[in-house]
Amino acid sequence: MTRYMLTICLLLLSLRITLTAQAQNDAGAVRHSFLCCDNGQGKDFVVSADGKVVWEFAVPVGQDVWRLPNGNYLLSNVRGVQEVAPDKKVVWQYTSPEGTEVHGCQPLADGSVMVCECGTSRIVEVDRQGKIRKEVKLETKTVNVHAQFRVARKLTNGNYLVAHVGENLVREYDGEGKVLRTIPTPGNPFVGVRLPNGNTLIGCGDGHKVIEVDTNDKIVWQIDENELPGNPLRFVAGLQRLPNGNTLVCNWGGHGHIGEQPLLFEVTPDKKVVWKMDDYQQFRTISNVQLLDVAGDVTKGEILR
């Protein structure tokens, strides 16, 4: 082979490597592994970064999920909460009273679990022996048990942030149950997430919006229903704010919109969608999610969801 031909071959190889790398970059620059609850199927799933289901567990009306530092999964179901090991053994559970519903839970730093109960209108913190260590009564005018609350979170300051889905508002309570703040929302909220800067990120359900409000309840960032091309917002459910400032959104389509939009998407502060998941072959309606490739201790509030 002449030096000229060798040079040409090396240039072509270099070009091929560059184009291949660019194609991979463009097609899959952002990929996520995640834990999610698909309440349309009555299952929770762990999904790898290449989109394969690697774990699943039957859960009736799952609305909240966490991967714990020990590798187990904390899963809410309509009547309580279970901690489930990767081998699917239930290692701990709490069952709420008859006639109640549970749509939110959270692992706490002391090892106990916070549970938000519709019907009893309360938050309880339950230890690993099943004893209720704390009870906080919540204010609600909603008689319909299913429509009282969705996701609740205990904040690092000891307060509680509760989505009152039937009253179109998010309330912040102190540790004794006193209402400190009421945030009106343009729709029936699924979750409120307190951010490190003091703002609150809210998924507004059938209001078809994501909003971020400051400490004076002023909207400082939002995504409207038809603002993202090809991704209309339906019932906006679970949210996660990522370390890079992006927001992960669960675009739940269970009110007549299954298959019409991505189930999950990640959007930048300037509203560019950089990742989406629209696999309706494996999933139906995802209501909440935790990205498993984001570092942080969930018991210390380091995962913003």
Backbone angles phi, psi at 9, to 5 degrees: -60, -45
Q: What is the pLDDT of residues 109-151, one digit of tens each?
A: 999 999 999 999 999 999 999 999 999 999 999 999 999 999 9
Neighbours of 116 (CB within 10 A): 32
Confidence of residue 29 (pLDDT cuts 50, 70, 90): confident
Q: Residue 84 and residue 73: Cα distance in Å, rounded? A: 5
What is the structure's pLDDT at 67?
A: 98
What is the structure's pLDDT at 5?
A: 44
The pair of three-digit structure tokens given for residue 54, joined into one six-digit string: 């690697």
| CB distance 41 to 9 below 8 Å | no
Question: 186: exposed, middle or buried (C-beta count within 10 Å: 0-12, 13-18, 19+)?
Answer: middle
The percent helix, strand, coil of the chain (3-state, each to 5) is: 10, 40, 50
Q: Record the pTM.
A: 0.90
Q: What is the DSSP string of 204-217?
A: -BTT--EEEE-TTS
Q: What is the pLDDT of residues 177-218, one digit of tens each?
A: 999 999 999 999 999 999 999 999 999 999 999 999 999 999
- In the chain, the domains with their CATH numbers are 32-300 (2.120.10.30)
What is the structure's pLDDT at 14?
A: 41
Q: What is the pLDDT of residues 257-275, one digit of tens each?
A: 999 999 999 999 999 999 9
